[in-house]
Amino acid sequence: MPRFWLPLCLVPTIVWSGPAPKANSAFDLSQPFPIPGSLGRVVRDGANLRFQKDPKGSKRIFVGTNLTGMACFPKDLSQANQWAKSISLRGYNIVRLHHFDWVLRDQGWGYKDRLDEFVAALKRQSVYIVIDLFSDRADNREAFKRGVLTASQGIRADWKTFATQLLTRKTSVHDCAAWKEEPAILGICPLNEDDPRFLNVPTSQYKPAFKWMLQVVRVTGYKGLVWGLNSGVDQSLLDAAKEFDVEDFHVYWDHPQGNRYLTTSGVRQPWQLPSRMLPELPSFCTEWGSLPYNELRGETGLMFVGEMVKRSTSVVISYALATNETMMEASKAPIDQFAFHTDPVRLATDRIAVLLLRRKLTGLRTAWETSSGAYRLESNQAVIQVRGDAAARRADFLGTLDGESVDQSKHMLLIRFGDAQNTGFSSHVVSDKVVKEVDNRGGLPVRELSVMGPYRFKSNRRWDAWALDPYTGEKVRRVPCAQIQAGQWQVETSSLNTELVASS
């Protein structure tokens, strides 16, 4: 197994490339998966998911990202295919189309054809979809959600009309059915983040409200998965949650609060990770994230992905690759507060999620010491290690790209966190040493603060190593990689991502 206690330092590297991964590069994580409908709908099988035509006891895993607003509406077929291909190249097999309801409100139902075009393109790439029936189309979102939960006649009529139209509207788009029948629509949450405790609604009103929404959905003919409380299930709502097909949660270690953010690691904050309340149901996480300004977001992502593997989570969806149409294009842009399309760190944590969740791991072992902030995951195919303090802090991932064990692999990816920030980014401490406020968000170019130093791993093969562009995965420069003794190699890293290729 790799050894980590070696000298290292952080050195900034200027990053100019656009965010799209290159086909056949180390970042091309696309892999075969059943096209929606080819094996029937996705169904619950105990605490797991499978397709209707899978043998009972099968298990399917979905890993993806959120796309919000205009990032759900390609302008034409060509752009729809381009966006869907980019999603597939990243290794995603699911997306959450989110916050699109305000677009339909403002642009009219004719705009749904563009949404349907995207659904059809995603289907052709074997990518599935989850949606909400309300998220962002009311001037006062909280008041609207309260109205649905408390049986406001006017608000419920509005919700029902929109939901019915969305699910039953016929389309002329080839390869896309009305959504009530569309097998790519894996699941629906009727009301985004509908926890009554945060809406000043008695918890007793939640169950009848969800049953009413569920009936509306089922009357349309939709037979896929449906659930509520997607921000997490509380003990007081367990009875209502028994109506759900899955258990869902959202988790952020430093949710955006204006210009303030936390410089904390999830490895030291286990309380942020929700406990399973309904272990008999499949587990979903349809939003997870950490702010780009937090230099410890990389190690938080390592821990989070490791825990999702340990928990056998069925669906893991990051927030958010893109929040508008420009972000879906291969263009240069500064790191954004919400979307991570140009954040090399968050892109890397999603890459790790795909490699660990969508590929079978054997010999899995984990250890988490929250007091010291140490986390370790070991399997035959990958290793995560987070440990140390201050300048000696390490957060490393080594995983095989060919699915073989580390000692037999011929192709591996090494990711060492580092940080990445916009040029000119600055902030100052506000309180408690970890609460900071942004002074200047900065701009282009993005600066990758790379880990430079030796990393050792065991192998009997001969290896070559390259530093990679953090967006495309293309080889940028060769880096030293040498055998230091029989069965042990050392690579001198100079970037966030390093590709290792066996030469014999």
Q: Is residue 391's pLDDT more than 80? A: no
Contacts of residue 153, Cβ cutoff 8 Å, sequence gap at least 6:
none
pLDDT band at 256 (very low <50, low <70, confident <90, very high): low
User: What is the residue-wise DSSP string for 330-369?
Assistant: S---PPPSS--TT-HHHHHHHHHHHHHHSS---S-EEEEE
Q: Is residue 6's pLDDT more than 90? A: no
Q: Which is more confidently placed, 168 or 231?
A: 168
Q: What is the pLDDT of residues 300-314, one digit of tens each?
A: 999 999 999 999 999
pLDDT of amino acid 390:
77
Q: What is the CA radius of gyration of the chain?
A: 23
- 19 and 330 in contact (C-beta within 8 Å)? yes
The tokens for 46 are 């105990």
Backbone φ, ψ for residue 151 (5° rounding): 65, 40
pLDDT band at 5 (very low <50, low <70, confident <90, very high): very low
Mean pLDDT of 126-141: 97
Decide: residue 174, CB within 10 A, 0-12 exposed, 13-18 middle, 19+ buried: exposed
pLDDT of amino acid 18:
63
Q: Which is more confidently placed, 341 or 290?
A: 341
pTM value? 0.96
Q: What is the pLDDT of residues 259-269, one digit of tens each?
A: 888 888 999 98
Backbone φ, ψ for residue 81 (5° rounding): -65, -40
Q: Is residue 66's pLDDT more than 90? A: yes
- 106 and 146 in contact (C-beta within 8 Å)? no
pLDDT of amino acid 4:
36
Sheet with strand 394-400: strands edge to edge: 365-369, 374-378, 382-387, 394-400, 411-416, 497-502, 463-468, 475-479
Q: Over the chain, what is the mean pLDDT?
A: 94
Q: Distance between CA 152 and CA 209 in Å, rounded?
A: 11
pLDDT of amino acid 290:
87
pLDDT of amino acid 8:
44
pLDDT band at 389 (very low <50, low <70, confident <90, very high): confident
The tokens for 130 are 């989850």
Share above pLDDT 70 across residues of the chain, in percent, rounded to a whole number = 96
- 459 and 487 in contact (C-beta within 8 Å)? yes
pLDDT band at 17 (very low <50, low <70, confident <90, very high): low
pLDDT of amino acid 298:
96
The tokens for 60 are 């399917």
Mean pLDDT of 431-441: 91
Q: Distance between CA 303 and CA 299 in Å, rounded?
A: 6
Q: What is the pLDDT of residues 311-351, one digit of tens each?
A: 999 999 999 999 999 999 878 899 998 899 999 999 999 99
Backbone φ, ψ for residue 82 (5° rounding): -65, -45
Q: Distance between CA 14 and CA 25 in Å, rounded?
A: 20
> Which residue in the block uniquely carries the two structure tokens 């992905």?
305
Q: Is residue 450's pLDDT more than 90? A: no
pLDDT of amino acid 106:
98
- 69 and 103 in contact (C-beta within 8 Å)? yes
pLDDT of amino acid 258:
81
Partners of 315 in the beta sheet?
62, 284
DSSP conformational letter for 37? B
Q: What is the pLDDT of residues 139-173, one digit of tens each?
A: 999 999 999 999 999 999 999 999 999 999 999 99
pLDDT band at 433 (very low <50, low <70, confident <90, very high): confident
The tokens for 91 are 């290794």
Q: Distance between CA 185 and CA 127 in Å, rounded?
A: 10
pLDDT of amino acid 12:
63
- 463 and 478 in contact (C-beta within 8 Å)? no
pLDDT band at 432 (very low <50, low <70, confident <90, very high): confident
pLDDT band at 254 (very low <50, low <70, confident <90, very high): confident
